Amino acid sequence: MLRCALHVVMATGRGVARSSAARASARDPWCASRLLPRASVKLSSSSTKQPARELWGDRHGDSPQAARALELFLKRASPEAAAIVDEFLQARRRGASLDDFLLSSLRRALRPGEDPGPFVLEWQAFASGAIATNRNDVAAKAWTQWEAFGGANNRATPLLAFPAGETIEVASRVRLAGVARMDRCLSAASAAGLRAFVLASRDESVTRAASDKKAGATELSRVLSPRDVGSSVVTRWDVRLPWVEIVRECLHELMGAPDDASSLGHALSTLSGGDSAQLFECAAVISAEGAAPQIVHADTIQTAAGAQLFTVFVALQEIADHQGPTRFLPYTHTCTISHRELERDSPDAAFCQRTPSVSALLGVGDVALYDSRTLHCGGPHRVPANLAETRVERVLFYVSFKHALTTEAELSNRDVHGAGSILPSVAAHKMSLGVLRARRSPSGNAVSA
Ligand SMILES: O=C(O)CCC(=O)C(=O)O
């Protein structure tokens, strides 16, 4: 799943960083002193050329996450790396954001033997060390947030669907609240077939990843809280799906008839600037019993450009409360204050204690459609209180569409992996929403029903 790298990592470290210096060192994911033993590059602690603080921040259009990440990095960056940052900040023109500078440097692929200069090397070492050392802290923080939302006495209300036939309402609802539900977009038979395919794909990808890390990284996206605190057992996966018949057929079915104004396809088109919106992700998330919750996060940060991505989560089986349904925080997609409060939340997650949320307790084939800026998280997958309840993995098929006016660079810059959760071979089709709605193949030929 696409997630804003800066947003997620900063959201994790922020609250605990304030508690005490010792705890900050132990738990702040960006704390450079923790990264030194792992980083291949030695960061100097005697930085002399520090960029002036007024050169970045809110008034330059930089996100708080990027500003905070830079501050932590600069505490230990070498004078040479700091000088490069200073050069960028001094020379940047209006619109050149720190977010893009940091994220494109983070993503920059290095050819063997290439010397990208001290900043890129140190920044990549800093960030990857932070992400690697941070996994347990992420799950621990997610449990604190989950408790703050009420824990087993969850205060979330169910995410409710609007009556059939009110599609305009669905698009309007997403615009207003950031999330809406649509029921029975996929038949039970299609959902069951796709579910079996997803689980088999997951098993194959996990086996392949064990012997071929590169193939693993192509087929399985990074996921938040893959393991619980202190556990080595993986209980959460994000599987990129191939463009095979069963996936295509389910997508066509989900979109509904092209002339049906109450269809999911129509709602997506209304929201995404028309049928030229492009398929950006095509994957599935799976959680097994024992899965920790995820930290509250958004998939993209808020920018002046507005909505950039709309995502559809499709339940491939019924989702009960013990299976950790997705929790959405309505109205947060356009609420800069909520995003900021989350980043600066107290160690006991006061923001989560006071913020209302809804649970996507979906039936088979039901859909949660959301604006990627909406704060959300997967819940913990627990043993049901009533052991007679069905105990199966929770599988969500998902696709996202890039708004017609959003450029590739705007979105890809906001993810560590350079793209959302989509196989390169599927992304290469550059599939438009219109093609999917019209049941055409990427080459434009009609697909037989
Ligand atoms: O598991 C879910 O319900 C949400 C997944 C998600 O948001 C993520 O993996 O980033």
- Residue 447: pLDDT over 70: no
Q: Is the CB of 34 under 6 A from ligand 1?
A: no
Looking up residue 201, the CATH number of its domain turns out to be 2.60.120.620
- Residue 27: pLDDT over 90: no
Determine the atom of ligand 1 nearest the C-alpha atom of 236.
1
- Confidence at residue 157, expressed as pLDDT on a 0 to 100 scale: 94
Query: Cβ(14)–Cβ(344) under 8 Å?
Result: yes
Are residue 111 and residue 255 in the same domain, yes or no?
no
Are residue 251 and residue 336 in the same domain, yes or no?
yes
226-230: long-range contacts, CB 8 A cutoff, minimum separation 24: 226/135, 227/135, 227/139, 227/292, 228/139, 228/290, 228/291, 228/292, 229/136, 229/139, 229/140, 229/143, 229/292, 230/136
Query: Cβ(356)–Cβ(331) under 8 Å?
Result: no
Residue 30 and residue 40: Cα distance in Å, rounded?
Answer: 16
**Could you tell me if residue 370 is inside a domain?**
yes
Are residue 174 and residue 111 in the same domain, yes or no?
no
Joined tokens for residue 265: 């396809």
Are residue 109 and residue 141 in the same domain, yes or no?
no
Are residue 297 and residue 149 in the same domain, yes or no?
yes
User: Residue 285 C-alpha to ligand 1 middle, in angstroms?
Assistant: 7
**Could you tell me if residue 53 is inside a domain?**
yes
Mean pLDDT of 410-421: 57
Are residue 308 and residue 323 in the same domain, yes or no?
yes
Report CA 359 to chain centroid distance, whole Å. Answer: 18
135 falls in which pLDDT band (50, 70, 90)?
low
Tell me which residue range forms the domain holding 400.
136-437
Last residue of a domain, one of 74, 108, 133: 133
User: Residue 283 C-alpha to ligand 1 middle, in angstroms?
Assistant: 11
Are residue 237 and residue 370 in the same domain, yes or no?
yes
> Which residue among 145, 237, 285, 375 has the greatest number of ligand 1 atoms within 8 angstroms of its CB, and so is best to mutate?
285
- Confidence at residue 105, expressed as pLDDT on a 0 to 100 scale: 86
Contacts of 341 (CB under 8 A, 6+ apart): 351
Write the pLDDT tens digit of every residue in 281-294.
999 999 999 999 99
Last residue of a domain, one of 133, 150, 180: 133
**Could you tell me if residue 18 is inside a domain?**
no
By CB neighbour count within 10 A (0-12 exposed, 13-18 middle, 19+ buried), where does 61 fall? middle
CA dihedral sign of residues 362, 249, 283, 384: positive
Write the pLDDT tens digit of every residue in 266-276.
999 999 999 99
Query: What percentage of residues in the chain have a pLDDT greater than 70?
Result: 82
Q: Is the CB of 3 under 6 A from ligand 1?
A: yes
- Residue 425: pLDDT over 90: yes
Are residue 116 and residue 210 in the same domain, yes or no?
no
Order the strands of the 327-329 sheet from edge to edge. 157-158, 358-359, 327-329, 375-377
Determine the atom of ligand 1 nearest the C-alpha atom of 376.
7
Determine the atom of ligand 1 nearest the C-alpha atom of 223.
9
Alpha-carbon torsion angle 349, 351, 352, 356, nearest 10:
170
Are residue 172 and residue 253 in the same domain, yes or no?
yes
Domain count, the chain: 2
Write the pLDDT tens digit of every residue in 199-253.
999 999 999 999 998 888 899 998 999 999 888 899 999 999 999 999 999 999 9
Alpha-carbon distances of 423 from 34, 239, 428, 429, 444, rounded to whole Å = 33, 9, 9, 10, 21
**Could you tell me if residue 25 is inside a domain?**
no
Which string of b and e fits 12-27 if b means at least 16 CB within 10 Å?
A: bbbbbbeeeeeebeeb
**Could you tell me if residue 14 is inside a domain?**
no
**Could you tell me if residue 414 is inside a domain?**
yes
- 3-class SS letters over 93-110: CCCCCHHHHHHHHHHCCC
Q: Is the CB of 194 under 6 A from ligand 1?
A: no
Are residue 129 and residue 170 in the same domain, yes or no?
no
**Could you tell me if residue 1 is inside a domain?**
no
Are residue 299 and residue 389 in the same domain, yes or no?
yes
416 falls in which pLDDT band (50, 70, 90)?
very low
Contacts of 11 (CB under 8 A, 6+ apart): 65, 295, 296, 297, 342, 343
Last residue of a domain, one of 75, 102, 133: 133
Residue 222 and residue 38: Cα distance in Å, rounded?
Answer: 20
- Residue 376: pLDDT over 80: yes
- Residue 415: pLDDT over 70: no
Joined tokens for residue 420: 């959302």
- Residue 2: pLDDT over 80: no
**Could you tell me if residue 19 is inside a domain?**
no
Atom 7 in ligand 1: which residue has the minimum CA distance?
A: 377
- Residue 184: pLDDT over 90: yes
Alpha-carbon distances of 200 from 195, 196, 206, 260, 279, rounded to whole Å = 9, 6, 10, 33, 23
Q: Is the CB of 4 under 6 A from ligand 1?
A: no
Residue 70 and residue 67: Cα distance in Å, rounded?
Answer: 5
- Residue 26: pLDDT over 90: no
**What is the overall mean pLDDT for the chain?**
83
User: First-to-last CA distance in the chain?
Assistant: 30
Q: Is the CB of 1 under 6 A from ligand 1?
A: yes
Q: Is the CB of 327 under 6 A from ligand 1?
A: no
37 falls in which pLDDT band (50, 70, 90)?
very low
Are residue 73 and residue 182 in the same domain, yes or no?
no
For the chain, the farthest-separated pair of C-alpha atoms sits apart, in whole angstroms, at: 67
